[in-house]
Amino acid sequence: MESITAARKGTASAATVAAPDITSGGQSNVQPQQETDGFHLLIDALKLNGIDTIFGLPGIPISDLTRKAQAAGLRVISFRHEQNAGYAASIAGFMTQKPGICLTVSAPGFLNGLTALANATTNCFPMVMISGSSEREVVDLSQGDYEEMDQLAIARPLAKAAFRVLHAEDIGVGVARAIRAAVSGRPGGVYLDLPAKLFPQTMDAEAGRQSLIKVVDPAPRQIPSQDAVQRALDLIKGAARPLIILGKGAAYSQADADIRALVEKTGIPYLPMSMAKGLLPDTHEQSAAAARSYVLPEADVVVLIGARLNWLLSHGKGKTWGGKSSKAWGGQKFVQVDISPTEADSNVRIDAPVIGDIGSCVKAMLAGIDAKWPKPPAEWLNAIGERKSRNIAKMAETLAKNPTPMNFHSALNVVRDVIKANPDAILVNEGANALDFTRSIVDMYKPRKRLDVGTWGVMGIGMGFSIAAAAVSGEQVIAVEGDSAFGFSGMEVETICRYNLPVCVVILNNNGVYRGDEVNPTGGADPAPLAFTKDARYEKLMEAFGGVGVHVTTPAELRNAMEDAVRSHKPTLINALIDEKAGTESGRITGLNPTAKKA
């Protein structure tokens, strides 16, 4: 029941508790006293801060919380494994700039969610994982409580921040601190520990309402210094072979129009990192994606916008960048636009760091770029254009082939067409070869439409990301999955069906990790470690829960099935059998996977 005062003020949903009136000796004159409790305070605090969805998995001690949250109008999406709920929350954070909320039970549930929390921190996705925990006194004395674990201590090194709330009146502060920590500055994963005893704690409803905090300006703009902007512009202006690299920080910042204006007004070729694909349409004439291995070593000034010089960019040095040896600097000068001041110089010297939020930084840079801004030398643009056309023509030739059995290219040619016809659809992508081929074959046309394995190259994001993407946006989701990658979150097809989400899962099934043709060298009965069940019927998993399952072996069948899925918006799983010999060990990052010299 709602507190009248609170309902009028539109926030707290206090429970009414009939408490004896002690002034009359507790006899007949019983006055209803408005009380609230930890359950309701948490829900009210989240709602007050614009949170509308919780991704979680109910159980001790948070099952009643999920019930009450749903009753209070929050969308509660219940998963089959906390890791998937965590991935869902993190990508919801990336898509909306609001922290995604993941709710888990104690110890094992908490640990299951922790991988996703750490992944969120690594990827700079704002997320708050809220876990129930066991009794503090018992845990701290190691007396063997139900699901005993010092969760706060374990979460701390993996989260951007971690907090515990012990008293109902502190829930408002705890939630406010968690939200600020998740979205301000460089976003990340935040842990909020709520012991079981907190939830039923009661307090006066009005005092409870007063204790809640609506966070004002949770991610304040950070304006770059004018000196830093000028230094960067001077460096860019003097470049003979400039290049812009757009990363997922740029996609996250939602400064789409200004980023596009910066690229177009300067005329500088750009390279999108995988989750920045579509920030400008991949078909944009300034995209240098199809000339990647040419532009990286040849560029003289590189402008990083929301992209780190980590392994995905070969640490800004070595042969990829034209360095003489694997760790040698290639001679490039770097401008780095980033919200984190300590990111600069993490791998190579940054000559012009521009520190601030990307929206403010790009705006400030644009203010210094007028119509007379010199376009990059034609020689540079022509050389890129040539490489690009050559690679695109080569790709077109490969895509036009129709081999039997189907391979990655002939299958992905269909996905490419379907995305082109449905540019609002969100593409989720994981695997090794299934990831690498999709990244270079399937063009994206709009920002934040490609969600993938990110900074860690983590397998298992597939169904969690798909569920969140569909729930948050209402758009059609197409998940292109390697058969191995799908296995990490496959049971969530039940969740997709239960919530009737418009998700079409396409499994590029080559019967194994990387490929499916390995055999046990001993001749024994066990399969090779990287081989899976031959011709596994993954589509039946979707059928088991009422969705549409389709088994396809040709591009034409795949096209029909995908078009049906997009038309109907029904949960669909397409098991696309491809050549089991298709695929290379580790895809395009074979060099990271050591092999033994001795057979």
* Binding residue for ligand ADP, selected from 228, 275, 299, 550, defined by CB under 6 A: 275
The torsion region of residue 217 among left (phi > 0), alpha (psi -120 to 50) and beta comes to left
Nearer to ligand ADP, 173 or 223 (CB): 223
x/- track of binding to ligand ADP for residues 189-228 (CB under 6 A) = ----------------------------------------
Q: Determine the length of the chain.
A: 599
What is the total count of residues that contact ligand ADP (CB under 6 A)?
Answer: 24
Enumerate the H helices of 97-247 as residue ranges. 107-123, 136-140, 151-155, 171-183, 205-211, 226-237
By CB under 6 A, is residue 252 in contact with ligand ADP?
yes
- In the bound state, the residue with its beta carbon closest to ligand ADP is 249
Using the contact rule CB under 6 A, the part of the chain among 92-100, 302-310, 332-340, 583-591 near ligand FYN is: 583-591
Are 126 and 120 a contacting pair, CB within 8 Å?
yes
Q: What does 436 bind: ligand FYN, ligand ADP, none (CB cut-off 5 to 8 Å by kind)?
A: ligand FYN
- According to CB under 6 A, which residues from 115 to 144 bind ligand ADP? 123-124
* Binding residue for ligand ADP, selected from 65, 339, 364, 381, defined by CB under 6 A: 339
- According to CB under 6 A, which residues from 299 to 338 bind ligand FYN? 312
Q: Give the integer Cα–Cα distance in Å for 339 and 157.
A: 21
Q: What does 439 bind: ligand FYN, ligand ADP, none (CB cut-off 5 to 8 Å by kind)?
A: ligand FYN
Nearer to ligand ADP, 298 or 338 (CB): 338
Using the contact rule CB under 6 A, the part of the chain among 132-140, 306-314, 319-327, 482-490 near ligand ADP is: 306-314
Nearer to ligand ADP, 259 or 384 (CB): 259
* Binding residue for ligand ADP, selected from 100, 249, 269, 353, defined by CB under 6 A: 249
Nearer to ligand ADP, 357 or 492 (CB): 357
Strand partners, 144: none
* Binding residue for ligand ADP, selected from 228, 235, 276, 472, defined by CB under 6 A: 276
Cis before 61? omega within 30: yes
Closest CA to 335 of 317, 321, 318, 348: 348
Smallest gap from Cβ 233 to ligand FYN, in A, equals 27
Question: Which helix (DSSP H) or strand (DSSP E) does residue 427 occupy?
Answer: strand 426-430
Smallest gap from Cβ 307 to ligand ADP, in A, equals 3
In this structure, the number of other CB atoms found within 10 A of the CB of residue 96 comes to 18
Q: What ranges make up the beta strands (E) of 262-403?
A: 270-272, 301-305, 333-338, 352-355
By CB under 6 A, is residue 229 in contact with ligand ADP?
no
Q: Give the integer Cα–Cα distance in Å for 223 and 357.
A: 7
Smallest gap from Cβ 332 to ligand ADP, in A, equals 16
Q: Give the integer Cα–Cα distance in Å for 263 and 271.
A: 11
Find the Cα–Cα–Cα–Cα dihedral 323, 324, 326, 329, rounded to 10°.
-40
At 188, list the tokens.
């990340």
Smallest gap from Cβ 125 to ligand ADP, in A, equals 9
Residue with tokens 């009359």: 24
Pairing of strands 31-37, 202-204: antiparallel
Q: What does 252 bind: ligand FYN, ligand ADP, none (CB cut-off 5 to 8 Å by kind)?
A: ligand ADP
Q: Give the integer Cα–Cα distance in Å for 465 and 248.
A: 15
By CB under 6 A, is residue 186 in contact with ligand ADP?
yes
Residue with tokens 């001790």: 60
Smallest gap from Cβ 100 to ligand ADP, in A, equals 15
At 236, list the tokens.
């860019």
Nearer to ligand ADP, 48 or 307 (CB): 307
SS3 529: coil
By CB under 6 A, is residue 80 in contact with ligand ADP?
no
Tally of helices (H runs) and strands (E runs) in the chain: 22, 20
Nearer to ligand ADP, 249 or 464 (CB): 249
Using the contact rule CB under 6 A, the part of the chain among 3-11, 225-233, 307-315, 535-543 near ligand ADP is: 307-315
Q: Give the integer Cα–Cα distance in Å for 243 and 447.
A: 20
Using the contact rule CB under 6 A, the part of the chain among 133-141, 191-199, 524-532, 585-593 near ligand FYN is: 585-593
- In the bound state, the residue with its beta carbon closest to ligand FYN is 457
Q: Give the integer Cα–Cα distance in Å for 172 and 156.
A: 21
Hey, what amino acid is at 78?
Answer: S
Q: What ranges make up the beta strands (E) of 385-461?
A: 426-430, 450-452
Smallest gap from Cβ 418 to ligand ADP, in A, equals 24
Smallest gap from Cβ 252 to ligand ADP, in A, equals 5
x/- track of binding to ligand FYN for residues 272-291 (CB under 6 A) = --x--------------xxx
- Phi first, then psi: give them for residue 176, nearest 5 degrees: -60, -45
By CB under 6 A, is residue 93 in contact with ligand ADP?
no
By CB under 6 A, is residue 427 in contact with ligand ADP?
no
By CB under 6 A, is residue 450 in contact with ligand ADP?
no
- According to CB under 6 A, which residues from 417 to 456 bind ligand FYN? 432, 435-436, 439-440, 453
Using the contact rule CB under 6 A, the part of the chain among 246-254, 390-398, 493-501, 530-538 near ligand FYN is: 390-398
Strand partners, 577: 509
Q: What ranges make up the beta strands (E) of 10-164?
A: 16-19, 31-37, 53-56, 75-78, 100-104, 127-133, 161-164
Residue with tokens 């926030």: 11
Closest CA to 571 of 485, 450, 476, 461: 476
Interacting residue ranges for ligand ADP, rule: CB under 6 A: 123-124, 186-187, 247-249, 252-253, 273, 275-276, 306-308, 310, 312, 338-340, 343, 357-358, 455
Interacting residue ranges for ligand FYN, rule: CB under 6 A: 274, 289-293, 312, 391-392, 395, 432, 435-436, 439-440, 453, 457, 586-589
